[in-house]
Structure 1
Amino acid sequence: MGVDFDLTGLHDDHTIRAGVPPPLSELCVRVLAAHFAHRPTLRGIAPRYINRLTELLPTTLPLEVTGPLIDDEGYWKRCATNRWENCTISEHGSSWKRCYFEKNLTDFLETFDPLKTDTEELMRMLAISKDYVFSLRVKQFLSHLDMEMLLQNVPTLCNLDMTFGVKDIGMEYERSLFGMKMSDVTSLAKALRVTETLTILSLPCNLLDDNTMRVLATGLQANSTITSLDLSHNKIADRGVKAIAKLLTDKAVLLSLDLSDNHVHADGGKYFGRALKINSSLETLNLRLNRLGDEGGKMLLEGLAHNSTLTHLNLSCNALDHDSAQQLGSIVSSSTSLQNLDLSGNVFSEDAGRLLRDGLQHNRTLTSMDLRLNQISVDTAAAIDETCKSNKFEMQRARRLIFEEQQMAQYGHK
């Protein structure tokens, strides 16, 4: 009597001729895969068979089993693509295993309701994920969990992007469902004092205002790891900016600060101007879509004149005018650090444009200046753009020469 063998799922390397049974090693791997849920171990299996074994494993095995045992990227790719349509692993360190665990924990946190799900289930999920989660992007956070507990139980977390809101709410909108409460901010401030791994913190669209910002700043003041802070699309005004500016001391580690689309007025520009005079860490500052006005812009730029580290500055849509342009003309003529400057959507006149053009005559570092939606003539804008392009070309040429010199020094003439 003939024996029927199941040939489904065979890899090309294992394809056999009809009527010929598969090799004994293949049969053993199939048996191991079929019983893996009951006997989860890779001990004693030759390395050359492990990839074949993971090919046959179902993607529904418990994460407590597969997480510690399986590192094969092919297996985790199957798990991720079977569950989610869009998986961009470049957002997860180009690792399918990390992608799966981060998206899985994100989904859990976005739907977790302590009134419907036992807190023990949350602790179990955090315990399963703690070694594989480095980045979280949570766009719905209804549970208002203790942030200190969350960060302590995910000690590898480096990047946290969190919005307290509701997705797909439809006609059931309630104001109370959106934004961080004072208790949330207080909890996060406490967590920031003790975290040793978090380097990127993004809190967009959380209805943060001056009062909540001042509380959050107390946690940031005691933090020495965060290098990138995104507070865009909130309601932070001048008193909140004053608290933020106090973080920008000469000992600060913050490299990037995004306050776009807030309520920053002239006093906020003054506070930032004072901070930029002494700060030596900040490289990127985004104040797009605020209300600095010409006075606030001028005071901020007066501080920038004494700064030697800022490379990217966005002041678009702030009603900047002649006084700001005059200060900018002086800055760009002597700056050795500023590379990208966005001034679009302001009210610069043709005279302001000429001030910027003339200031650029001695500049060698600015490679981009965006002046769209101003009252500057096409010819003046074109002259500024040409100077920036020339600077960019010369910088690329200098980098290329340095690279070639390093290669020659390392390998010698051939």
Structure 2
Amino acid sequence: MSRPNSAGSTATDSRGFRRIIAEDPDWRLTLVPCLSNLCLQSIVKNIEEKPIFEALSPIINDFVQETLSTSLPLQVTVNLISDGVYWKRCCEQRWDICDLAHYGHSWKRMFLERHMENIIELFIPDVTEPKTVLEMVPLCKDYVKRLDISQLLPPIKEPQDEEEEEEKEEEEDEDGSKLTSHTDHDGPSMDHFDFNILLNKLTQLEELHLVYRVKQCGMNFEWKMFEMTDRDCESLAKALMSCKTLKLLKLHQSHIEDKKCRLLVKYLLDHPSLRELNFSHNLIGDKGARAIGKLLNRSKLETLNMCDNNIGGPGAKAIAHALSVNSTLLSLNLRLNCLRDEGGQAIGKALLNNNTLLHLHLGANRVTGPTAIALSKVLVQNNTLKSINLSCNNLGVDGGIALGEAMSHNTSVTECDIRLTEVDEQSASSINQVVWTNQSSEQKRHARQSETK
């Protein structure tokens, strides 16, 4: 028995089986979702109410990480989802460039560090609630090892009418003489984010990169946007002292002068873990350099970068005095200061008693022949120094001859930069030849050490 074969009807074929003819001609059995997929979709949908993430098998775990919404609250995801595909998706969705090199090749660490950086960089004093930052601490303190803060916003200026501004600018007593203006102050009047509320809570923090500036300030530009206040300096100094895990501090391009440098050093003198200090591109002079000298005597610094400051001969002498007894510093960068021969010769004399420094940069310091001669004595005696940079100084012919003669007795220096120093070609050639020989010997030594391992 058979019936008309129409859409949605049943029919009996020649074998006696009944078959269903679908109304949708494109329907296939494969379109029906598997029960397991329906279960996974339910897990993803209800992950906040029923976080069973850890109980899943690795294959199912990967599926869920690829499916979960990246907008889930961090309070849910941080403690629930380990490093993996989910955090990679979060990073790539939020930032165009995602280089894992600075984050221990961890997507989760990258996201949490950069998220914390963004919160600090957009923090507006007296407007943003401090709890915005502090709420993140329990979630990220075990992951944040490095913070690179590229801007710090000042408070918002309240508009004032002309009468108020005139009153603040100048007041007169009964005799018509001027009184002290209410706007008179030493340095800028704006304070920034207070690191004292945060750093002691980040128990894994090892690197802090800071610059006091405002990016994309446009027509609202003021010089005060590019420097720290006295209160900023004091609160930061105390915060640094409380951060016992910090190994690297970079505080650059922030108009730090002698007073602020000395205050920062005061709180860093006995820091237990600080190994690298970078105060480059600031306004630090001789008084600040003397404080740095004290720091070298008390701390275990391995790298010191004071590039592009206002350090002169007296300041260089203070650093040199510390260098003569220091046994931990490996790299010293004094490029773009004004040491002159007074400071250059002091550094050279100090290195006669130093057997640990590996890298020295004295480029663009207005040093001349006497400094070159002082350093030539070091090159003869010292077999520790690996690189020396004297570029952009007027060493002259005599200085070049002294360096060339000294290098002929040296076996350790593999980099010697004497560009733009007025050194004669013959001396430059002989120096470069020794450098190439030392480089070749160093490479062979490393090759032998690799073979023995």
TM-score, normalised relative to structure 2: 0.83
Matched, 1:298 2:349: no
Distance 1:95 1:72 in 2: 7
Distance 1:342 1:350 in 2: 17
Of all paired residues, the percent bearing the same amino acid is 35
Equivalent in the alignment of 1:48: 59
Equivalent in the alignment of 1:74: 85
Residues 8-44 of structure 1 show CA distances to partners (whole Å, capped at 9, x for unaligned) of xxxxxxxxx9825454333321221122233333143
The within-5 A match list for 1:12-411 is: 19=30, 21-142=32-153, 144-249=192-297, 252-404=299-451, 406-407=452-453
Q: Which runs of 5+ in 1 are unaligned?
A: 5-16, 408-414
Q: Which amino acid aligns with 1:365?
A: S
Moved more, 98-107 or 69-78: 69-78
CA contact (8 A) 2:206 2:246 kept: yes
Residues 367-388 of structure 1 show CA distances to partners (whole Å, capped at 9, x for unaligned) of 0001111101233212211111
CA contact (8 A) 2:270 2:299 kept: no
Distance 2:123 2:49 in 1: 29
Residues 337 and 178 of structure 1: is their aligned pair in 2 closer, same or farther, counting only changes over 3 Å?
same
* C-alpha displacement of 1:3: 13
CA contact (8 A) 1:207 1:235 kept: yes
Q: Which amino acid aligns with 1:48?
A: I
CA contact (8 A) 2:83 2:106 kept: no
* C-alpha displacement of 1:93: 1.6
Q: Which amino acid aligns with 1:255?
A: E
Distance 2:436 2:148 in 1: 36
* C-alpha displacement of 1:153: 2.2
Equivalent in the alignment of 1:9: none
Distance 1:202 1:381 in 2: 35
Distance 2:342 2:29 in 1: 84
Q: Which runs of 5+ in 2 are unaligned?
A: 1-7, 9-21, 155-191
1:137 aligns to what SS in structure 2? strand
CA contact (8 A) 2:116 2:133 kept: no
* C-alpha displacement of 1:217: 0.9
Q: Which amino acid aligns with 1:292?
A: L
Count of residue pairs brought into register by the alignment: 393
* C-alpha displacement of 1:399: 2.1
Residues 78-133 of structure 1 show CA distances to partners (whole Å, capped at 9, x for unaligned) of 11111111111112122111111111111110001133222222211233222221
CA contact (8 A) 1:272 1:303 kept: no
TM-score, normalised relative to structure 1: 0.91
Q: Which amino acid aligns with 2:147?
A: L
Residues 302 and 36 of structure 1: is their aligned pair in 2 closer, same or farther, counting only changes over 3 Å?
same
* C-alpha displacement of 1:60: 0.8
Residues 31-59 of structure 1 show CA distances to partners (whole Å, capped at 9, x for unaligned) of 21122233333143233311111111011
Q: Which amino acid aligns with 2:61?
A: I
Distance 1:66 1:353 in 2: 63
CA contact (8 A) 2:313 2:343 kept: yes
Residues 375 and 65 of structure 1: is their aligned pair in 2 closer, same or farther, counting only changes over 3 Å?
same
Residues 296-328 of structure 1 show CA distances to partners (whole Å, capped at 9, x for unaligned) of 111121111110000011000001111101111
Distance 2:402 2:66 in 1: 66
2:133 aligns to what SS in structure 1? helix
Residues 367-414 of structure 1 show CA distances to partners (whole Å, capped at 9, x for unaligned) of 00011111012332122111111101101211222332x33xxxxxxx
Distance 2:309 2:437 in 1: 35
CA contact (8 A) 1:191 1:219 kept: no
Moved more, 202-211 or 20-29: 20-29
* C-alpha displacement of 1:333: 1.0
Quote the RMSD (CA, aligned, Å). Answer: 1.9
Residues 209-255 of structure 1 show CA distances to partners (whole Å, capped at 9, x for unaligned) of 11111111111112121100000000000000001101112x53100
